[in-house]
Amino acid sequence: MEELTALLHSSRRIVAFTGAGISTESGIPDFRSPGGVWTRYDPRDFTFDRYVASADVRERAWRMRREFSDAGYRPNAAHRALARLEEAGRLRGVVTQNIDGLHQLAGSSRVVEIHGTAREVMCIGAAPRAGMPAGCGFTAAHEWAIARVDDGDPDPSCPDCGGLVKSSTVSFGQVLAPDVLEDASLLAESADLMVAVGSSLVVRPAADLPLAAVQNGSRLVIVNDEPTPLDDAADLVLRGRAGEVLGPAVEELLGP
């Protein structure tokens, strides 16, 4: 912890890279562990192509979104710690694999969401192919779709063009937005300290970003419960829960 505080103190261009582990302390289950999302839903049902092809899959997807919407998850100490670092002018931004929007709720203003956001929905067109959304441009808050589902429409369609509507998240088999990847890469390359929190660092291309930061001269801190493939490349590895590590370290740096 002393080493972490010293690294935070000596850095002026901190960039955070976060994964599911930063949000489990808010009660959001991760995907792969026992009790995780994929123990209750079949991940094979949530590929982009199956979503496009099957009204049943879309109906199950909206039920899953409804379940998460009802839970009312809130930011935890780790999200708040990163927001404080940004407010203090030390953290340039957050690159996250998460879709929950908790960084923004905690007060972070520069957040690059590699896998999209569950807070919005979007038109993807009537018959998109090759993992490429081809909608008319319609977007709305997530609550719009949930209200439609609650009103008895299990598979809401676009009110502008009649196309399929999907959560603004990146599904299996869906192409990552090139401009989002570029923003994430530029942010990572600007870092003098990359703090990777709660990520297994195995899902690519997102997991390549901390290594790219190191290759560009940044130091690397990894905070995670389990070993990662990049542990040997890190300047410091801390095993533990994100909030229990980052919260006290930032308080030591910035005060209560």
Measure Cα distances from 226 to 194, 212, 229, 237 in Å. Answer: 18, 21, 10, 10
Q: Are 20 and 199 in contact (CB under 8 A)?
A: yes
In whole angstroms, give the CA distance from residue 191 to residue 213: 7
Segment 42-48 long-range contacts (CB within 8 Å, at least 24 positions apart)? 43/172, 46/171, 46/172, 47/171, 47/172, 47/173, 48/128, 48/131, 48/171, 48/172, 48/173, 48/174
Is 88 labelled as part of a ligand binding site? no
Identify the CA nearest to 69 among candidates 148, 138, 125.
Answer: 148
In whole angstroms, give the CA distance from residue 195 to residue 113: 16
Among all chains, which residue has been given the structure tokens 């003098």? 192
Q: Which helix (H) or strand (E) holds 169?
A: strand 164-169
Catalytic site residue 9?
Answer: no
Strand partners, 169: 116
Q: Apex CA 87: angle with CA 81 and CA 93, to 5°?
A: 75
Is 158 labelled as part of a ligand binding site? yes
Is 161 labelled as part of a ligand binding site? yes
Measure Cα distances from 245 to 83, 150, 159 in Å. Answer: 15, 40, 46
Q: Are 123 and 161 in contact (CB under 8 A)?
A: yes
Catalytic, out of 79, 103, 115, 142: 115
Q: Are 155 and 126 in contact (CB under 8 A)?
A: no
- Report the binding-site residues: 123, 136, 158, 161
Catalytic residue IDs:
115
- Report the binding-site residues for Zn(2+): 123, 136, 158, 161
